[in-house]
Amino acid sequence: MSDILKKIKEAGLVGRGGAAFPTHLKWQAVKNAHSDKKYLIVNGAEGEPGIHKDEYILINHLNEFCLGLKLAADYVSSSKIFFYLNSKYFDLYKKNIINNLNKVGLKGKFEIIKKTKESGYIGGEESTILNILEGKILEPRLKPPFPTEHGLWSAPTLIQNIETLYNVYLVDKNKFKNTRFYSINVGSKNKGVYSLADDLSIAEVLQQTNFYPKYKFFVQIGGDAAGEVLNDSQLEKKVSGAGSITIYNLIEHNPERLVAYWLDFFVKNSCGQCTPCREGTYRLKEMLDEAKTIKKMLLNDKLKEITDNLFLSSFCALGLSVPIALLSYLENVYKPNIKLYE
């Protein structure tokens, strides 16, 4: 086992894109795969609302991230690096990224690809990225096979998030302290990114960042569309997914407007590949539009059937996520005693 892989394994480093898969296992799988060509993709899509840690890294820790990327590319013997980047970040930071990648010794070994706004949320799913780079239809692939075995142009492919590669640099320099970045949001203007211990509860993160409200509130963790919603008595839970916490004022928020925002997001971002997601998201939006109020929407006996189908039958994480935000909000905030999962 190489020194860097051993360090990553001992550090317990996991991916920061949301899935938290052990990083050393991904690297080892690509390293062990028999192929004349291997690829490395940096997933800088960061397409879910409320998550902006990758941008923070590109602004404040670009050189460290680039050095972590080089470590990964060298370890898996990557034939080429594809840096798949959010359109906003592409426009703002492309020049600096190119300069830093060249500086760390990756000149001529990478290509920066702009993620189109039209590709939406699903354009950041790793197997969808493979299809986009290959010029195929915008939709996710069936797994297995996994990208580490059968990825870009059928070659073994390592796909890593920006934060993960920044952490690789820290691990290599013996500076990794089992921390992660948290995106904190209160409204559209009051937000920040903070590096804190990975094992903190939601309450501890809010307290340590001075974001703990003095008013009655609830939170959404892991993303402002797909994230779980919790009330202020459930804050001992750890932050999941890509590490975001968004705070809502319990008294001042508009329930119908918030649920409509989630449903609009999912309808617009569904790729249409699978029926449960394509039809289910549209039907839920239609249900709310017709009911006008959540109270009347809850009387529709199709609500549970549709959310169950989305959760159990959707092809990818987009459809699976729809019930998470909606039902956790209904159970934990709108009507705490309701049990829609049963």
CATH (domain of 315): 1.20.1440.230
Residue 55 lies in a domain: yes
Report whether pLDDT(68) > 60. Answer: yes
Q: What is the mean pLDDT of residues 198-225?
A: 95
State the angle between helix axes of 162-172 and 62-76 in degrees (0 to 180), rounded to the nearest 10: 80
How far, rounded to the nearest angstrom, does the alpha carbon of residue 189 sit from its chain's CA centroid?
21
* Residue 23 confidence (pLDDT) above 50: yes
Domain span at residue 242 reads: 179-249
Q: Give the whole-angstrom CA distance, residue 287 versus residue 276.
A: 15
Contacts with 289 (C-beta within 8 Å, 6 or more apart), sequence order: none
CATH code of the domain covering residue 109: 3.40.50.11540
Q: Residues 45-62: what's their mean pLDDT? A: 94
Boundary residue ending a domain (147, 172, 197): 172
pLDDT tens, position by position, 173-193: 999 999 999 999 997 677 899
Last residue of some domain: 120, 139, 172? 172
> In terms of pLDDT, which residue wins out, 72 or 308?
72
341 lies in some domain? no
Q: What percent of the chain has pLDDT over 90?
A: 75
Mean pLDDT computed over every residue of the chain? 92
Same domain, residue pair 190 and 164: no
Least confident segment among 77-81, 100-104, 208-212, 317-321: 317-321
Closest CA to 247 of 153, 184, 318, 170: 184
**Among 160, 198, 224, 128, which Cα is nearest to 21's?**
160
Is residue 192, in this structure, part of any structural domain at all?
yes
Which positions ≥6 away from 254 have C-beta within 8 Å? Answer: none
pLDDT tens sequence across 92-132: 999 999 999 999 999 999 999 999 877 888 888 899 999 99
**30 and 139: one domain?**
yes
Least trusted range by pLDDT, from 2-11, 241-250, 262-271, 285-294: 262-271
The whole-number pLDDT of residue 340 equals 53
Of residues 18 and 267, the one with the higher pLDDT is: 267
pLDDT: which is higher, 305 or 276: 305
pLDDT, tens digit, for every residue of 225-281?
989 999 999 999 998 778 999 999 999 999 999 999 999 998 888 887 888 888 989
**Range 290-303 average pLDDT:** 92
| Greater model confidence, 318 or 160 | 160
146, part of any domain: yes
- Predicted pLDDT of residue 176: 96
Say which range, 13-17, 24-28, 69-73, 258-262, has the weakest mean pLDDT: 13-17
Q: Is the pLDDT of residue 74 over 90?
A: yes
Same domain, yes or no: 166 and 236: no
Q: Tell me what pLDDT residue 342 has.
A: 46
Confidence category of residue 17, pLDDT binned at 50, 70, 90: confident
Q: What is the mean pLDDT of residues 280-292?
A: 93
Q: What percent of the chain has pLDDT over 70?
A: 97
In a domain, 113, yes or no: yes
**Domain end position, chosen among 113, 137, 172:** 172
Instruction: Give the model's pLDDT for residue 341.
Output: 47
Radius of gyration of the chain (CA): 21
Give the chain's domain count. 3
Query: Is residue 70 predicted with pLDDT exceeding 60?
Result: yes
| pLDDT for 137 beyond 80 | yes
